[in-house]
Structure 1
Amino acid sequence: CLVISPILTCRFLLSDSADRPVKYFYRDGVVNYTTLLRGSDGETLYVGARDAIFALNVSDIAPNRFKNEVIWESPEQKRRECNFKGKNLQSDCFNYIKILLQLNSTHIFVCGTNAFSPNCSYIVSHVANFSLVKDANGNILTEDGKGRCPFDPTYKSTAVIVDGELYAGTVSNFQGNEPIISRSGSKPPLKTENSLNWLQDPSFVGSAYIPENLPENNPIGDDGKIYFFFSETGKEFDFFENTIVSRIARICKGDLGGERVLQKRWTTFLKSQLSCSLPDDGFPFNIIQDMFVLTPGKEHWKNTTFYGVFSSQWYKGGAATSAVCSFSMADVTRAFSGRYMEVNRETQQWYPYNHIVPEPRPGTCITNAARAMNITSSFQMPDKVLNFAKDHFLMDEIRSQPLLIKKHIKYTQIVVDKVEAIHSHYNVMFLATETGVLHKAVNVNNKMHIIEEIALFAAPQPVQNLILDSKQGMLYASSYLGVVQLPTSNCSIYQICGECVLARDPYCAWDGMMCRSIRGLQFNSQWKQDIETGKAQQQCSVPCETVTVPLNSFKLLPCHVRSNFATRKWMHNGAVADSMYTILTDGEIITTAETLGVYECWALEEGFQLLVANYCVRADWSLEATTASRKSIPVESYGNPEKGIVINPLSSESRYAQHTNGKNYWTEFVTVSVVFALTLAVLCLIFLYWNRDRMKSLIKDGECSNIQQKKQRKIEIQESLPLNGNPIQVPTPDHHKGYQSLNDNHICSTPVLENATSGKDSEYPESPNSQLNQKNLYVEISPRCPQPRVRIGSEIKDAVV
């Protein structure tokens, strides 16, 4: 289970998931499983594909368990004609099953494209004799499918059988530019009028029959109606590009056409725009993708709700978006009983019609009010009523706001199940996408909560059909490559009470021991369920599980969070585990002080929080986990060591008690210290012995390493008189005081002569007859040069010392 949002919205990949039982059906060489039909016996699922129809057992639809099959291929001559007309022989020129409807308890009505030459036939629905009906000569009994089934397999069409009559919305020609809503059967055939532009390039997505004539003998005496849902070009809008609008159209079951006006045409055809737009800026979701009609029962048709999925021909925020809108039966009835729209022939603009409307009201069925006027059929309708209906077929729009909006997702199919929960009834929606993903959502307080996101197929592919068997609690989804069967709920994945309640799944409730499906069960008020708010804290109490830990040991407290997007929050004795706790990357916490007490693990995501685990940690004072002979601290695990908290059971008090009552290790400490000191001393002596020669050289070089540390000493010269014998008094220059005196037989160095650059050297002219100063003789010598440089007066000469 890969959870998305909130905490327990699970994402399953059914192809490799063992959490939800799922079964697939496919046949080698067969593709395009577009049509699904639940049998009237409740035990058979009929599947229409390319060149084949299958009868599957709903208890097991595995490929090797199907009941029977019918191969209905197009003749080679039809395929050659299809190819000659410019169609692709490898993709277009086959018999794609487009209509598969239960005609009665023994036969199924089926239509296929037949290589762009549509025809229809009948199938015996009994499993023992599942086959196409044949004539006396053994040939398949077929009927012309023109006006019933489309020519092109990619064209969207719809059909429904009511009292043995087929009502279809499709195209009636090879080019596909003549849309039609028709009736065929025992009653007079009727269709829409193309010349009046009742339909503008429609794309049909569904149809439904509403028994508005029930209950019998009602005061209105209305007739049953067939509704069609489609999108088409909206001629009432004058934009710079063609604007697509979503429509709902209706016709009366008892319509027979007009006698002089609208002969063999519908006299009750009306249509209205289905407007699904945002409330703030009015951004429209104008293209209907699918429609599901939820009727609580034939007698309660007034409570019918129309659920549709819509997309937009424009992009908002640079992303494709889908929306789910609902329309009540009261809204639909109000629109078809409201204002008519009228077109201006000169400007081709549509305006509300605000004049007198003829009686009986145009576009309505035969009711008791019409019977009171001696009008019992459409043949008897006045010409002015039919002429008005011929030109005023567009009604005022029906508005709604989205229940659910999803960006970057395109919904293609929708089914809705009315579920009886513990405290109320809820409408659960199943939404299929063009990538093969199924969303399970519930409408709570006018907001949608997505319960599950399920990947139906291993590879992304559009869901072409989606049907619901509410009695069996099963969903069937078809695609290009096969059919998948899955249950509407899988409550067993919620393993604790908090998860079961927080999931807010109307199918599931916590019975005190486990989360289980309540469909078909006698549940009581003690079962836990909260669809409105999902407050698990009020419904469920997580017991504090006692964990006993020996002294000086560790234990792992697991905290399993099912959501990949949820974060953990550990609480210790009511306080958040802060920086004093070491939190590992996988959610574990290692504590070393003050660790006894109550531990709570909470899962947090998008404002929801769930108590996942609750532990009461106690220390076992009778056991001592650590002894002197052990070399490491033992680690004991509690639960599954995937994600949890590691604790040290010793608090400061318990550590003090163990220190005072345990064994004294002072002797061992002193012994180890002495051995360590002796070892260190021996190592130092060995080091010095190995490096004794090097140490001697360092000591000798150190005697002349710094000449500035030597004290300046003067050398007393033995000569006291010049060579001529006359004593001369020579003043001592100040700039000679910076030189090192010559002493004994070695001179190391002398500092730089002061005022050497001041220009005072002119006081001592260079002369070979310069007198030698007997008291102050300054000599400089390099420590590496045997001959020093001696300065006599102002002259510097080499001298041997």
Structure 2
Amino acid sequence: MHPLLSLSVFGLLLPQALMRVVDSPLNCIPRRSVPSNSNNALLFWEEGVFNYSAMLLREDLDLLVVGAREAMFALDLRNISKKITSVEWKASPKQVRDCKRKGKDAETECKNYIRILHEMVDGKMYVCGTNAFDPACKKMSYADGNLALMEPEDDGKGKCPFDPFQRHASIMIKNDLYSATSMNFLGSEPVLMLSPYVNPLSGPIRTEIKTSWLYDPNFVSMASMPDSEKDDNDDKVYLFFSETAVEFNCYSKLGVSRVARVCKGDEGGQRTLQKKWTSFLKASLDCPVPGSQLPYIIQDSYRWCDPSLHWKECVFYATFTSQSHTSEISAVCAYRMSDISKQFSEGKYKTPASVETSYITWVTFSGEVPEPRPGACINREATNSEIKTTLDLPDKTLQFIREKPLMDQAIEPIGGRPLLTHKGAAFTQIIVKQVQALDGEKYNVMFIGTDQGKLLKALHNEEMFIIEEVQLFTPPQKIKILKFSNKMGQIYVGSDISVVQISPANCERSSTCFDCVLSRDPYCGWDKVEGKCVSVSSSQSVLIQDMKGNASHCPDAGPVVEPLTRNIKPGRILKLRCPSPSNLAKLIWKRNGIPLPHSPEDGLLILDDSDNNNNNSGKYSCLSVEKSKAGEYETIVVNYEVIISLENGGVTQAQSSGESHSGLIVAIVVLAVCLVLLLTWRVVKRHINLPCDRTKEKGEEPQQTRDLEAKDASVPLAAETPNKHTNAGDAPCQRGPTRKE
């Protein structure tokens, strides 16, 4: 590679990555962390079934239809733990054998993973599965409380992925299926394809198999936009994905995020681009996370539109993760539909160019752009110029779009920076809902899934604020799909192991008025009459709520926190726990009303050292201090009454220093006496051997006594002339006959 080219890559990326570092909301911390045993969620799973990654809301039937491995389930939309019915769809034995012969794993890959679930115009459902690396599609009906698969079976190539672990995207519009996946077993032919339902004989429309169109893509999601009020041919389908960049020359592959679009009225070209898209254009999506030198990679997107505004005011929210292994930061960026549309309709194109006859680089196209504009839909203006369909487009326009589908400028996010950055678990899925708070304003609340099975609830109100993070799956599992039912007001989450239903409003988690208001949750408010945090939609009372965290309207007197009694023995350590109601709060400990110099977050340690006259008994209070833009608020979390207790369990005050020393002295004296007695006994035992031979007559004098008398009479004699009976007298007593060896 030419050194100037590699430098140009980082010259383009670095300024975007480092801009607006000061104002970026780096590492936004959730205010509250909720464990899985307190998430108030409903759960569905079935033994032996995995990969609940396809969902279809059938609000007309009050059903949540879930596609998993080799099965589809119809669950009660009100309570998904109630299964209404299910139907199996397994790969045939022949398909499994063929899959195994091709080197795939029989237990994981050679199964039928349901990947596509869409509702059709007549109320039936269109289902596609990987089918042991032989994708197939069927219609499915629901009647009399039962799901039933219908024949015939359609070929699923280009509609559903072969590989169950390969990412894909699809959308159905008036029974026409738009899909982004791979066309072959190896996954080396990525396509964006239209499979027409009304006129299937016309054949599918698809992308060219060229790296300039799609280069090792990971498809994320698709969305339909009207783009016109009167002409359906001008409506468009948008595809979000990531791929290897062709415009940068690097030593290793560099990933970039993209958005592409095609026109619904596209029929392909007459000679050039036959049965291929004539309207396929793509542009880069920039999500500039400060400090990152590499582009962030899109993981999911969600289209949010205000029904009272023009379609150009719609916003796409997208989750991004780093492609660097050294970064754990994820981000959310938002893009205006008007900015995306303007880039495709007015922006410049990139074109490949040779450098020093050896390298191909992509530069801004500065030549003449043909008419009609390459990639434009056939709208009313085009039909007035005798171009009725894409089949009438001139070859010059078609050849241009075939060679130059990439736009020159990247699409910048709203505000030029991420709405949210968070360090930790990687973001996967996102949905956005608008909620009207008690102040009359409307707020967008984001629900973000992570690869660790957590659901983040975040509010965008001048600044980003994560209300809470809830652990949904234990052990942690990647969240693969999120759905929101407007009818039920519930969130549905899918993972490899189960499906979870959870309410967006769990106001009962706040036990005090301060906690309720400081959470800044537009779903919740404090009911002064009931004395609890309640859902705004279900209450008729006057509630306290403030989206800036102003808790000054809360009653001054909070709930009385009864003290908890704790005993500590002399010389022991006692740990006082204080569960913080907020990750943003600071804990302060007080003893008898006086603040302690050090207030640890994980609990207060108390050591009773009575020898130093340090009596730690008394009243301890743990207080939570939390700041918001409106002020600083202090609440009592827990009170303790600490009492010093004796070793035998009786309750008393700390012992005096003198009593403690007296006890120690007594113990030492007793120990010394015991040692003296033990030594005395050992000395006596050494010099006096008691007789134990009871077979001798009473009149007989023991030999040992005679020896002692002789020894006492003449010690020198005993020393010079050894007594011949000494050995016999000194021999140990025998309790039985001695055995001869």
- TM-score, normalised relative to structure 2: 0.72
Q: What residue in structure 1 maps to residue 639 of structure 2?
A: 643
Instruction: Supply the AA of the counterpart residue of 2:333.
Output: C
Query: What is the CA distance between 1:263 and its match in structure 2?
Result: 1.1
Distance in 2 (CA, whole Å) between partners of 1:77 and 1:454 is: 44
Q: Is the 8 A contact 1:413 1:466 kept in 2?
A: yes
SS at match of 2:360: coil
Distance in 2 (CA, whole Å) between partners of 1:8 and 1:411 is: 14
Q: What residue in structure 2 maps to residue 612 of structure 1?
A: 635
Instruction: Supply the AA of the counterpart residue of 2:411.
Output: I
Distance in 1 (CA, whole Å) between partners of 2:248 and 2:268 is: 30
Q: Is the 8 A contact 1:13 1:458 kept in 2?
A: no
Distance in 1 (CA, whole Å) between partners of 2:558 and 2:475 is: 45
Label 1:560 to 1:299 Cα distance change in 2 as closer, same or farther (>3 A).
closer
SS at match of 2:514: helix
SS at match of 1:67: strand
Name which of 96, 114, 119 aligns with 1:79: 96
Q: Is the 8 A contact 2:297 2:320 kept in 1?
A: yes
Query: What is the CA distance between 1:559 and its match in structure 2?
Result: 9.9
Matches within 5 A, 1:193-204: 193-195=208-210, 197-204=212-219
Q: Is the 8 A contact 1:559 1:643 kept in 2?
A: no
Q: What residue in structure 1 maps to residue 284 of structure 2?
A: 273
Label 1:11 to 1:127 Cα distance change in 2 as closer, same or farther (>3 A).
farther
Query: What is the CA distance between 1:352 and its match in structure 2?
Result: 1.2
Answer yes or no: is 1:308 the counterpart of 2:331: no
The structure, 1 or 2, with the larger RCO (C-alpha pairs under 8 Å, 6+ apart) is 2
Instruction: Supply the AA of the counterpart residue of 2:247.
Output: E
Report the RMSD for the aligned CA atoms in angstroms: 3.4
Label 1:559 to 1:6 Cα distance change in 2 as closer, same or farther (>3 A).
farther
Q: Is the 8 A contact 1:467 1:477 kept in 2?
A: yes
Query: What is the CA distance between 1:100 and its match in structure 2?
Result: 0.9
Query: What is the CA distance between 1:276 and its match in structure 2?
Result: 0.8
Query: What is the CA distance between 1:500 and its match in structure 2?
Result: 1.3
Query: What is the CA distance between 1:81 and its match in structure 2?
Result: 0.7
Instruction: Supply the AA of the counterpart residue of 2:350.
Output: M
Answer yes or no: is 1:486 the counterpart of 2:496: no
Distance in 1 (CA, whole Å) between partners of 2:29 and 2:251 is: 46
SS at match of 1:387: helix
SS at match of 2:262: strand
Answer yes or no: is 1:44 the counterpart of 2:56: no
Label 1:433 to 1:546 Cα distance change in 2 as closer, same or farther (>3 A).
closer
SS at match of 2:100: helix
Query: What is the CA distance between 1:475 and its match in structure 2?
Result: 1.2
Q: Structure 1: 5+ residue runs without aligned partners?
A: 135-140, 549-557, 614-639, 648-801
Answer yes or no: is 1:237 the counterpart of 2:233: no
Q: What residue in structure 1 maps to residue 293 of structure 2?
A: 283
Answer yes or no: is 1:379 the counterpart of 2:391: yes
Q: What residue in structure 2 maps to residue 562 of structure 1?
A: 581
Label 1:404 to 1:581 Cα distance change in 2 as closer, same or farther (>3 A).
closer
Query: What is the CA distance between 1:288 and its match in structure 2?
Result: 1.1
Matched pairs, number: 576
Matches within 5 A, 1:688-727: none
Q: Is the 8 A contact 1:124 1:133 kept in 2?
A: yes
Query: What is the CA distance between 1:150 and its match in structure 2?
Result: 0.8
SS at match of 1:348: strand
Distance in 2 (CA, whole Å) between partners of 1:178 and 1:6 is: 40
Query: What is the CA distance between 1:8 and its match in structure 2?
Result: 8.6
Q: What residue in structure 1 maps to residue 175 of structure 2?
A: 164
Name which of 8, 32, 39 aligns with 1:10: 32
Distance in 1 (CA, whole Å) between partners of 2:56 and 2:282 is: 28
Q: Is the 8 A contact 1:319 1:408 kept in 2?
A: no
Name which of 406, 415, 433 aligns with 1:417: 433
Matches within 5 A, 1:597-608: 603-605=624-626
Q: What residue in structure 2 maps to residue 756 of structure 1?
A: none
Label 1:155 to 1:585 Cα distance change in 2 as closer, same or farther (>3 A).
closer
Instruction: Supply the AA of the counterpart residue of 1:603.
Output: S
Q: Is the 8 A contact 1:275 1:284 kept in 2?
A: no
SS at match of 2:145: helix
Query: What is the CA distance between 1:518 and its match in structure 2?
Result: 4.9
Query: What is the CA distance between 1:384 and its match in structure 2?
Result: 1.7
Q: Is the 8 A contact 2:316 2:336 kept in 1?
A: yes
Matches within 5 A, 1:353-752: 353-395=365-407, 396-400=409-413, 401-423=417-439, 424-445=441-462, 447-513=463-529, 514-515=531-532, 518=535, 520=537, 527-531=543-547, 533-536=548-551, 538-543=552-557, 562-563=581-582, 566-569=585-588, 577-578=594-595, 585=604, 603-605=624-626, 609-612=632-635, 642-643=638-639
Q: What residue in structure 1 maps to residue 729 of structure 2?
A: none
SS at match of 2:55: strand
Query: What is the CA distance between 1:311 and its match in structure 2?
Result: 1.2
Query: What is the CA distance between 1:104 and its match in structure 2?
Result: 2.7
Q: What residue in structure 1 maps to residue 128 of structure 2?
A: 111
Instruction: Supply the AA of the counterpart residue of 2:632.
Output: Q
Distance in 2 (CA, whole Å) between partners of 1:254 and 1:433 is: 37
Name which of 294, 299, 302 aligns with 1:292: 302
Q: Considering only CA atoms, is the larger Rg found in Structure 1 or Structure 2?
A: 1
- TM-score, normalised relative to structure 1: 0.67
Distance in 2 (CA, whole Å) between partners of 1:191 and 1:414 is: 28
Q: Is the 8 A contact 1:228 1:248 kept in 2?
A: yes
SS at match of 1:313: coil
Name which of 30, 39, 47 aligns with 1:28: 47
Label 1:105 to 1:12 Cα distance change in 2 as closer, same or farther (>3 A).
farther
Label 1:33 to 1:545 Cα distance change in 2 as closer, same or farther (>3 A).
closer
Runs of 4+ in 1 over 6 A off after TM superposition: 5-8, 544-548, 579-584
Distance in 2 (CA, whole Å) between partners of 1:545 and 1:403 is: 37
Distance in 2 (CA, whole Å) between partners of 1:586 and 1:47 is: 51
Q: What residue in structure 1 maps to residue 700 of structure 2?
A: none
Query: What is the CA distance between 1:519 and its match in structure 2?
Result: 5.6
Distance in 1 (CA, whole Å) between partners of 2:559 and 2:92 is: 73
Q: Is the 8 A contact 2:205 2:267 kept in 1?
A: yes
Q: Is the 8 A contact 1:147 1:182 kept in 2?
A: yes
SS at match of 2:67: strand
Query: What is the CA distance between 1:565 and its match in structure 2?
Result: 7.3
Q: Is the 8 A contact 1:120 1:145 kept in 2?
A: yes
SS at match of 1:375: coil
1:5-43 per-residue CA deviation (whole Å, 9 max, x = no partner) reads: 9999222223x22xx431111111111111111114161
